[in-house]
A and B are shown apart, each in its own frame.
Chain A
Amino acid sequence: MLAMVFSGFVVAALLPWLHRRIGDKASLVAALCPLAATLWLASGFVGVTSGDVITAYLPWMPTLGLDLAFRLDGLSLLFALMISGIGTLVVLYTHGYLHGDPRQHRFVMYTLMFMASMLGVVTADNLILLFIFWELTSFTSFLLIGFNHDEEASRRAALQAMLVTVMGGLFLLAGVLLIGRAVGTFSLSAVVASRDLLVDHPHYPVMLGLVLVGAFTKSAQAPFHFWLPNAMAAPTPASAYLHSSTMVKAGVYLLARLHPALGGTEAWTLTLTGFGALTLLTGAVMAAGQVYLKRLLAYTTVAALGALVMLLGIGTEAAVEAAMVFLMAHACYKAALFLVAGSIDHETGEKNVTKLGGLFRYMPITGATALVAALSMAGVPSAFGFISKELQYAVLFQHGWLPVVAVVSGAFFLLVAVQTGIRPFWARYRETPKHAHEPPWTMTLGPVLLGVITVAGGLFPGWTADALAGAAASATAFAPVDMHLHVWHGFNRELMASLATLALGGIVVLVSPRLAGLGNRMAGLARLGPDRGYDGALRGLLSLAKWQTKALQSGSLRRYLMIILLTVIALFAVSFARSELSLQLRDRTPLTLPMFILCALIVVASIAAAVSASRLGAVAAMGVVGFSIALVFVLFGAPDLAMTQLVIETLSVVLLVSAFYYLPAFTRRSTWRGRARDLLVSIFAGVVMTLLVLLATGVSVGEPISDYFAATSVPLGHGRNIVNVILVDYRALDTLGEITVLAVAGLGALALLKLRTKNGGGES
């Protein structure tokens, strides 16, 4: 299991080396990796679909509750099979699609990394682990969308997709942390089993909201849908893989997975069905105005994701069943159509459907698979898509106006199916930039296999889909679901709805040439939509960053100092107000007259130094402060300090006086306003320090270590001056550091004085 998840990363890491050895054939070898994963999953198929669960566990950071815990149940199996199966076909397809491109192995590398991350998302049994893989898919998606990084549009689309999905990911993280705190563990299987704990939790609406933002951004729900059509800037294999069948379904997976834990409430149902239906309609209608193959497909993908979210919102057993069947049907026909779209583009050099036609003669295999996929997408009887449509209608008929939404959007699905799967092959032939012919086998194998599954699912659903979709639905509904799909349900209202959809779709197709103009107008409308909001938000963020950099990183030392002081004062004020410490004003040490005089001297001299207009006066006042402090040291039993202070102070005064000889006299530069402001801040800082001293003298924490020094100074340190023993013995390393600082400062000063620059300085 661990091998299945992580092999993608390993093979991706080896790929550049393999590519140097055997060139483009490396991609074919790399395809063995997803193939092996598929086979492994297939070997567990019977067990898992009959209710077994495969788990794998490796402790990672147990103290944080973060473990490499994986769990494969029906729902995970369904997604994992889609990911690895379509992954195999996509890697093969890439071999043909990027034939001769020197970056082919890099693309395959990203694809495998993505596949591994995605397998991680759907099998992780730890919410944090799931989040990590979730963000990894956003990241690899960025690499794939921006693959043609020399194009402006690709870069923008890549950044947009990443910002939107990663932002959603952060919301998800916040939701996950809340859930983890409420349940007491991040283990997904435990979370799923503790619905009561979550649904009745006072933070339930917040959790739900955060998780939904995460799922909605990833699965391109309106109003976050805009990144998905833009992501079509990616090379087609990536679009087929990430942006139709796997990554965008991660949000759906998350909703399905958390449905037992968070679902079933009114908030869940209303939000999901509302946003789902809105997305379904938006995607379907927006698709009508498109002319480029991939954008047509992208908007219907948005719509399909909306339908899935809507079904999960309804959340009944039948709805969940319908969602799982639709998921399978959609993945098969949409990936096939994307790959076909890529083949058409690759072989003809044309992406605009209005300029394509009559290709069936030149590309019969591709054309036939496109036909099958298109029929499934349109929901024509006997295709897999038809069965899934019937199930959906059966569910929606119990929910007011939702069938209308489904019928309308179904009509647009039919339109897109005709536009992408039928028109390019069967319409009147048109000249294309390249002369069309069948692509190599690597590029036809994928669509053909997906087409075969679509037909098999349509004709014999009992053999293929029952077990898998049933097992997945059981995990979502959190109760055993026994599923029996039928090709034919008899003449009932679902069939009527299907026929109505087909009829309405037929009308839409007939009037579609007139829709082209409408499409252009809608494109203008779309620019006013969320895409524009995204641009605005990005601009706003950048100017905010500029403004705050200017405000905080002004380059002025005085401004920095001011900011630091204000922060310290504010922090102190907050913690002082909160603390239970009281100021100690008890008379601990009686005040003597010499002490009073010294303190007064320090106060007067330091104020004098601060306001002195002459350099010499300031230095003299500073000297007075220093010598007074030396006398304080004398009064309180610190002769060593007093001696050092006297020597150093004398040196400092001499040094300052001689240096000031070379410097200009003090001039008054600041305005009185500026001085008053600085004075105010300084006084506040001074008050903070005074209070701090008074607080500190009142606190005594534990046994002072000095008693140990005093007791062992002679026996261990062989010295009678305890301060000296501390410096050279107990804290010898500290003293070594001090000497080093002195030496470095000396060397630095010397280097500065010797430094010769263009102004001819040095050796003054």
Chain B
Amino acid sequence: MTELMLAIAIGVLYASGLYLMMRRSIARFIIGLALLSHGANLLIFTAGGLSGGRAPIIPEGSDAPAGLIADPLPQALILTAIVISFALLAFALVLLLRTHQETETDDMEKLRSTDA
């Protein structure tokens, strides 16, 4: 049943993330973006298959993992994704700060054209 619970959690993460991204305030947009990345990471993790509790580490003195291990590939992908979503978050945040400084608004609907 863990898969079902996680699937529901992922759905809620996506729903709240997307709902926030459709708000007019850019600050809410950024929090939505963060929730969306969490949802995506969890999605990869769950879709890769939940197996056992053993970390994919090979013990000393052996050439192969002992017994069943967690799938290392989704983990590697998620590791990359976490770091990249952080970079995205940081950049978006700076962009928001500067936009607010320049336009003195954080309302998306007032930022519809390229002309100041």
Interface residues of A (CB under 8 A from B): 554-558, 561-562, 565, 584-585, 587-592, 595-596, 599, 602-603, 606-607, 609-610, 615, 618-619, 622, 625-626, 629, 632-633, 635-641, 644-645, 648, 651-652, 655-656, 659-660, 662-664, 666-667, 669-670, 678-679, 681-683, 685-687, 689-694, 696-697, 704-706, 709-711, 713-715, 720-723, 726-727, 731, 734-735, 738, 741-742, 745-746, 748-749, 752-753, 755, 757, 759, 761, 764
Main secondary structure of the interface of B (DSSP, over half): helix
| With A656-B30, A752-B95 as contacts: A731 and B76 at CB distance below 8 Å | yes
| With A666-B27, A721-B56 as contacts: A637 and B70 at CB distance below 8 Å | yes
**B89 contacts A655, C-beta separation under 8 Å:** yes
- Chain A residues in 8 Å Cβ range of B39: 689
Partner of A686 from B11, B30, B42, B89 at Cβ < 8 Å? B11
Interface residues of B in 18-43 (CB under 8 A from A): 18-25, 27-32, 34-35, 38-39, 41-43
**B76 contacts A669, C-beta separation under 8 Å:** no
Partner of B57 from A682, A721, A735 at Cβ < 8 Å? A721
Residue of A nearest to B103 (CB): A759
**B57 contacts A644, C-beta separation under 8 Å:** no
Residue of A nearest to B98 (CB): A752
**A554 contacts B112, C-beta separation under 8 Å:** yes
Q: How many A-B residue pairs have CB under 8 A?
A: 296
Complex CA gap A738/B88 in Å reads: 11
Residue of A nearest to B20 (CB): A610
- Chain B residues in 8 Å Cβ range of A691: 7
**B97 contacts A764, C-beta separation under 8 Å:** yes
17 pairs, A vs B, C-beta closer than 8 Å: A561-B18, A602-B9, A606-B9, A609-B20, A610-B16, A633-B45, A644-B82, A645-B41, A659-B94, A679-B19, A681-B22, A689-B11, A690-B11, A697-B3, A749-B90, A753-B97, A753-B98
Complex CA gap A461/B109 in Å reads: 79
Complex CA gap A589/B15 in Å reads: 25
Measured between C-beta atoms, what is the minimum distance from A493 to chain B in Å? 76
| With A637-B70, A693-B43, A731-B76 as contacts: A656 and B93 at CB distance below 8 Å | yes
Q: How many residues of B contact A (CB 8 A)?
A: 92
Residue of A nearest to B56 (CB): A722
Q: Taking each of B42, B63, B72, which has the highest tally of chain A beta carbons within 10 Å of its own beta carbon?
A: B72
| With A606-B13, A749-B90 as contacts: A723 and B3 at CB distance below 8 Å | no
**A615 contacts B2, C-beta separation under 8 Å:** no
Complex CA gap A609/B16 in Å reads: 8
Complex CA gap A622/B38 in Å reads: 9
**A678 contacts B10, C-beta separation under 8 Å:** no
- Chain A residues in 8 Å Cβ range of B45: 632-633, 636, 638, 641
**A622 contacts B34, C-beta separation under 8 Å:** yes
Top 4 A-B pairs, shortest CB-CB distance = A686-B15, A690-B11, A637-B70, A610-B16
**A726 contacts B72, C-beta separation under 8 Å:** yes
**A704 contacts B58, C-beta separation under 8 Å:** no
**A663 contacts B112, C-beta separation under 8 Å:** no
Q: Would you give the 0/1 interface string for B58-81, flagging 1 where the beta carbon is closer than 8 Å to chain A?
A: 111011110001111101101110
- Chain B residues in 8 Å Cβ range of A663: 27, 96-97, 100, 106
Complex CA gap A596/B88 in Å reads: 30
**B38 contacts A629, C-beta separation under 8 Å:** yes
Residue of A nearest to B1 (CB): A591
**B5 contacts A595, C-beta separation under 8 Å:** yes
| With A561-B22, A585-B4, A681-B18 as contacts: A706 and B38 at CB distance below 8 Å | no
